[in-house]
Amino acid sequence: MNPEIPDTKTMSEPVLVASKFQVGEVVDVSPYGKGRINETFLVRTLSEHGEKDKVRKYILQRLHKTLNVDVLKDIAVITKRLDEVGITTPKLVRTETGQLGIHSGVNSWRMLTHIPGSTFERGITNKMAENAAAFLGRFHHALVGMDYIFLHKIPNFHDTAAIIERLRNVVFEYQSTDKYKSLSPLAERILIEYKHIDRSFEKLPDRIIHGDLKINNIRFDESGQKALALLDLDTLGRDKIVIDIGDAVRSWCNNDEKKGCFDLDIFENMMSGYLSAAEFITKQEIESISEGISLMILELSARYITDAYEETYFKLDSERYPNLYEQNKAKAIFQMLFYDNFRKKRKRIDQVLDRYL
């Protein structure tokens, strides 16, 4: 056997897949990050000329079963636009045959450029929140006016009505189980709170949004102060802008995992940063931000409770929880604690927004 030709029989699947992209010689593939959906690997390669001092890094991902290859076409179009206007973004790396990704058996894979820097699970500062929100405003602004029709859509993604209806059905299906006794009180509360949502925001225009703005999808520089890029672009699509803002607020203002306290200072800095950069936003959209926050907290709570019953969707954090039931129940309880604190501060939150009307 020629030692310069890899022995594919002894390669792990991630290494074998990585070797099929235009990245040079693969020298190492290792698990990376704490993503809850896709399985992610950091790939280290040598340059085309094999210089050992020029190691390059890429991100390899095995896509979750809810995603199909059309999502790669969407990402390619949107990242091209972002790159053209000078906004840093991860970009797809093509395979040796020029494809956007690889379908291997039951798995689909993609390779992305790696953006050096830091990500955080929680605990961001006011300065970080303002800077990241300003970056989000520029991101949204850059995509205003694009008439692209998205090819990929995750079933019922941010379709809160469908998510709530599914929860209602799951509660009924499990009513004779031990899980019902434990989960139904919280589930019923979510269903009741959802009825109070003001649906007037549904008349707002659809815009291109990121769709999953939890804080660990923001890439900061090495200092942790400056936002560089938005990661995980599988959820790109068209929806109300307050869905994206509400989802970001739900994540970024939730700094205390045990108490579920809504951080008003973080919120004020987020709005200062975002509204300084989002030149397109209308008065009606600003007025609907609070309702977007309510909706996103309840939506995620409903998803957690549903998966506490079914144990089929979210990735298990085995270091902290014995199973998906315990994990998702705990996360749903925490989200509703956060919701209660949000409601207590709703008047002050609206006063912050009033400054920009």
Write the CATH number for 84: 3.30.200.20
- Contact call for residues 23 and 45 (beta carbons, < 8 A): yes
Tokens representing 141 are 């602004």
Per-residue model confidence as pLDDT tens digits over 270-281: 999 999 999 999
Tokens representing 96 are 């040796």
- Same domain for 145 and 109, yes or no, is no
Query: In this predicted structure, what is the pLDDT of residue 293?
Result: 98
Query: In this predicted structure, what is the pLDDT of residue 52?
Result: 57
Tokens representing 104 are 């291997």
- Same domain for 14 and 99, yes or no, is yes
What is the DSSP-derived secondary structure letter of residue 322?
Answer: S
- Same domain for 184 and 231, yes or no, is yes
Q: What one-letter code names the amino acid at 256?
A: D
- Same domain for 166 and 241, yes or no, is yes
| Lowest mean pLDDT, pick from 22-36, 206-220, 308-322 | 22-36
Query: In this predicted structure, what is the pLDDT of residue 91?
Result: 97
- Same domain for 233 and 316, yes or no, is yes
- Same domain for 154 and 73, yes or no, is no
- Same domain for 53 and 154, yes or no, is no
Position 26 in a domain = yes
| Stretch 80-107: mean pLDDT | 93
- Same domain for 198 and 73, yes or no, is no
Per-residue model confidence as pLDDT tens digits over 52-76: 567 899 999 998 777 778 999 999 9
Position 277 in a domain = yes
Residue 77 has pLDDT above 50, yes or no: yes
For residue 231, give the CATH number of its domain. Answer: 3.90.1200.10
Question: Measured between alpha carbons, how far is 8 from 19 in angstroms, rounded to an integer?
Answer: 10
Query: In this predicted structure, what is the pLDDT of residue 104?
Result: 74
Position 179 in a domain = yes
Tokens representing 34 are 């704490």
Containing structural domain, residue 345: 126-354
Query: In this predicted structure, what is the pLDDT of residue 357?
Result: 93
Q: Tell me the pLDDT of the chain averaged across its residues.
A: 91
Query: In this predicted structure, what is the pLDDT of residue 3?
Result: 31
DSSP-derived pairing of the beta strands 227-230 and 218-220: antiparallel
Question: Measured between alpha carbons, how far is 290 from 267 in angstroms, rounded to an integer?
Answer: 11
How many domains would you assign to the chain? 2
- Give the residue from 349, 355, 332, 156 showing the smallest Cα distance to 249: 349
- Same domain for 281 and 329, yes or no, is yes
Greater confidence (315 vs 51) lies with 315
- Residue with token string 């009180």: 185
- Give the residue from 325, 7, 346, 357 showing the smallest Cα distance to 181: 325
Greater confidence (238 vs 36) lies with 238
Query: In this predicted structure, what is the pLDDT of residue 38?
Result: 80
Query: In this predicted structure, what is the pLDDT of residue 155?
Result: 86
| Stretch 174-184: mean pLDDT | 95
Per-residue model confidence as pLDDT tens digits over 26-41: 999 999 876 566 889 9
- Predicted structure pTM score: 0.90
Position 121 in a domain = no
Residue 211 has pLDDT above 90, yes or no: yes
